[in-house]
A = this chain, B = another copy of it.
């Protein structure tokens, strides 16, 4: 009845998501400490910085120092974000420490595209064409198709499955024209509009149309349905998720007070592991990293599991009794 994967790969985005909206500046040394704590939990993919304009995202003014400072762990793929040639060049300075791959990103909502990307779809596709050329000139593969606001938009309202498919189609067409080999299609519920049936419809259609690409979900827990949406994704065979420790983060341009965060990595790990799906992540180490994240960010993060704790100690105690 379901298509649950045997193993799920989670891209931990807590550092990048969390630090970009921290109300007070987080010391570089604390950012590095959190990254190193996270790499020790068993995560295989860890997004550690945004190479963006310090004017636009002051929380990442120290991206270069952070990337220079963490201790690389074998088996962990460290990634970063950038949005322009300057950012790419900054990232390339660290090609010995970072996995550097490009994305083609569009928004399924025109209204969100104008606000978040400063261009409509056509303008964004033109910008992406340039962006791809810059990556290719630098020898950087462009492997990810990314659709923002794929399930709804605070500015446009409903985003139908047809809207989302049209956005993926535009990206895949551009990829084919420019010779990019797309490995994964990432669908983002940027503003927390998705519900499980909506996830199933869109993921199902994407998988049918592009069977050779992995589907990755980037879910926000704006309205409490994030983990149910992740479950719907798992049922549709999705084996890659972005998540943020503690449920940190949120897009500062989503026009939403409180900038609600991503689904909490530790809750997604618990969901998977309890259902027999391997993540490779030690949930207790991740919960400890979540408590460190709260200390570093100076605020309580939304994750219920950080409050409730895992089942590990209860199980051990029960076995010993």
Contact = CB atoms under 8 A, between A and B. Distances in A.
A318 B158 contact: yes
Interface in A169-205: 192-193, 195-198
A156 B311 CA distance: 12
Contact of A227 (B225, B258, B305): B225
A270 B156 contact: no
A232 interface: yes
Interface of A: 1, 152-158, 192-193, 195-198, 221-228, 230-232, 256, 258, 260, 264, 266-267, 270-271, 274-276, 302-305, 307-311, 314-315, 317-319
A197 to B, nearest CB: 5
B223 A318 contact: no
Contacts of A304: 221-224, 226, 260, 302
A271 B1 contact: no
A227 B224 contact: yes
Contacts of A314: 154, 157
A308 B256 contact: yes
Contacts of A275: 195-197
Copies per assembly: 2
Contact of A264 (B152, B224, B315): B224
Given A154-B314, A228-B230, 11 more contacts: A155-B318, A157-B318, A158-B315, A193-B311, A195-B274, A197-B275, A225-B270, A228-B228, A256-B308, A260-B304, A302-B307
A192 B308 contact: yes
Contacts of A302: 304, 307
B270 A223 contact: yes
B260 A307 contact: yes
A307 B220 CA distance: 13
A307 B258 contact: yes
Contacts of A154: 314
B222 A308 contact: yes
Contacts of A274: 195, 197-198, 225
Given A152-B311, A275-B196, A311-B193, A224 B305 contact: yes
A196 B155 contact: no
A225 B157 contact: no
A114 to B, nearest CB: 12
A291 to B, nearest CB: 14
Contacts of A221: 304
